[in-house]
Amino acid sequence: MKQIKFFIHTYGCQMNVADSEMVAGLLIKSGYILTKDIDNADIIIFNSCTVRQHAEDRVIGRITQEGSRKKTKPDLIIGLIGCVAQRCGEELLQKIDCLDFTIGTAQYRLLPKVIENCLKNNCSTSFLQTNHNENYSDIFPYRKKGVNAFVTIMRGCNNFCSYCIVPYVRGRERSRNHLEILKEIEIAGNRGYKDITLLGQNVNSYKDDNIDFPTLLKMASRIDPIRRLRFVTSHPKDLSEKLIDVMASEEKICEHLHLPLQSGSDKILEKMNRGYTAEKYISIIEKLRNTIPDVALTTDVMVGFPGETEKDFIDTYNLMKKFRFDYAFTFKYSPRDGTASANPRVNREQVDEEIRLERLQKLIALQEKITYEKYREQIGKNVEVYVEKISKKNKNDLSGKTRDNKITVFPGEKNLIGKFIKVKIIDATGWTLKGKKQNI
Ligand code: 5AD
Ligand code: SF4
């Protein structure tokens, strides 16, 4: 029998990366072969992101471009999965000739059957039904060789931040069974992935019977082969003191927290339906920094939300200046159809594109400077690096991450990959630390 090869390209967040691994696991189990070479693929799957219009445009452009392969390879199958498929898969199937199937976020189990059907009947299909209970808990993901693994602990979101499409395309929040999560972490650890990131849209509201998120973290940190634990994404409204205490007391939990701020203006936070004030956010950071002095902080910030005045923007700018995040993902508001803030009434308050761009550039410039300074503050420190690979820029260097999630390169031999190495930081550029291996 001919071996049928599939290729997956993933856009968007870590949830999508984890979903692609799960989909790969499912297809491999059904007899398909994963290929890293798109030229070799019989099936090309795009796992898409729709959180901003730009992300959606990119995947649609790419599908159209790859469609030209069908001129020389008429049996090629091209499919779209993920959040764009869930949002408008039916419409895209009609519009884009080369597209063979679209499958929404809750129907990945159908993939092997859908592909089989396409191979046999050359038909185009769409499966977009929602299922607020599906959590794919029994499907073991296929992970590429490495040292870091994502483990999904929950799916969906109930928060309905007014700008966000996620609750519509990923459905209601559901937590996975904690025993299944712990088992998956243990298996991953035994296979050499000793740095685990627990994933969910809002991990702080994880709940499985009487197991809440801090309890789950504590249990995960007792799993022997694991050396480091991380988690994303936290929501400030649900982040508890108990979590901060567990982070401080459990050695394996890394000194890093990603905590989206979104805006520094209470008026905008309220319009965003975020459920916290700037003051509440400040109190979390203070408690965190008092309890874990070396904690690295990263965030997501958005500019140009409808109704954002220059004063609101300055509030955000000043908070960023005050907090000095290690890194910040900065975004320009992008209206998403169907969300509360894209509704025509709110639309009247849209901030001009030019002003959005100007504010974004100001924030980026501020954060670049802070990140640069923060990284330079690391010079002279001894850190632990979990070595991942040979550096792309210099084959004599190895590359890995510190506990606080900073990429670090240092000269070293390939046999150190997969090891935890003490490194002294001797230099720092924008997002990379440079170090020297220590012998003790
Ligand atoms: N426009 C711009 N940014 C958005 N995000 C989510 N929705 C939108 C939108 N409509 C950002 C938020 C979120 C991150 C993942 O993406 O900052 O935290
Ligand atoms: Fe979107 Fe808010 Fe849910 Fe995050 S918490 S996925 S921003 S709705």
* Contact predicate 370/298, CB 8 Å: no
Residues 18 and 99 both lie in one domain = yes
138 located within any domain: no
| CATH code of residue 108 | 3.40.50.12160
| 190 and 158 within one domain | yes
Domain boundary among 376, 394, 417: 376
What is the count of structural domains for the chain? 3
What CA–CA distance (Å, rounded) separates 316 from 329?
Answer: 13
Ligand nearest to the CA of 259: 1
Q: Which CATH number fits the domain that encloses residue 416?
A: 2.40.50.140
> Whose CA is closest to atom 13 on ligand 1?
300
> Do 46 and 91 have their domain in common?
yes
251 has pLDDT over 90: yes
pLDDT interval class at 124 (50, 70, 90)? confident
Residue 1: which pLDDT band, with cuts at 50, 70 and 90? low
Distance 331 CA to ligand 1 centre (A): 7
Q: What is the mean pLDDT of the chain?
A: 96
Asked if 345 and 328 sit in the same domain, the reply is yes
**What is the model's pLDDT at position 343?**
87
Rounded to the nearest whole angstrom, what is the distance from the C-alpha of residue 246 to the centroid of ligand 1?
28
- Are 347 and 264 within one domain? yes
In angstroms and rounded to an integer, the radius of gyration of the C-alpha atoms of the chain is: 22
CATH for 349: 3.80.30.20
Whether 334 is in the pocket of ligand 1, judged by its Cβ within 6 Å, is yes
CA–centroid distance, residue 303 to ligand 1 (Å): 10
- Does ligand 2 come within 6 angstroms of the Cβ of 162? no
pTM: 0.96
Q: State the distance from the centre of ligand 1 to the C-alpha of 204, rounded, in angstroms.
A: 19
- Residue where one domain finishes, among candidates 326, 347, 376: 376
At residue 430 the predicted structure's pLDDT band, cuts being 50, 70 and 90, is confident
Q: What are the CA-CA distances from residue 153 to residues 45, 108, 150, 223, 410 (Å)?
A: 24, 17, 9, 16, 34
Structural domain boundaries, residue 212: 148-376
The verdict on residue 141 lying in a domain is no
Asked whether residue 359 is assigned to any structural domain, the reply reads yes
Residue 218: inside a domain, yes or no? yes
In a domain, 135, yes or no: no
Averaged over 44-72, what is the pLDDT?
Answer: 97
Q: Which ligand is nearest to the CA of 273?
A: 2
Query: Tell me, what's the pLDDT at 334?
Result: 96
Q: Which atom of ligand 1 is nearest to the CA of 301?
A: 17
Expressed in angstroms and rounded, the spacing between residue 164 Cα and the centre of ligand 2 is 6
Q: Is 393 exposed, middle or buried (0-12, 13-18, 19+ CB in 10 A)?
A: exposed
Using the predicted structure, report yes or no on whether residue 166 has a pLDDT greater than 80: yes
Do 116 and 169 fall into the same domain? Answer: no
Residues 253 and 282 in one domain: yes
Query: Distance (Å, rounded) from C-alpha 243 to C-alpha 379?
Result: 30
List pLDDT tens digits, range 327-382: 999 999 999 999 999 987 766 899 999 999 999 999 999 999 999 999 999 999 99
In-domain check, residue 249: yes
Q: Is residue 132, in this structure, part of any structural domain at all?
A: no
Ligand 2: centre distance to CA 160 (Å): 6
Task: Identify the residue whose C-alpha is closest to ligand 2 atom 4.
Answer: 201
Is 164 close to ligand 2, i.e. is its CB under 6 Å away? Answer: yes
Looking at the structure, do residues 89 and 169 belong to the same domain, yes or no?
no
pLDDT tens profile 259-287? 999 999 999 999 999 999 999 999 999 99
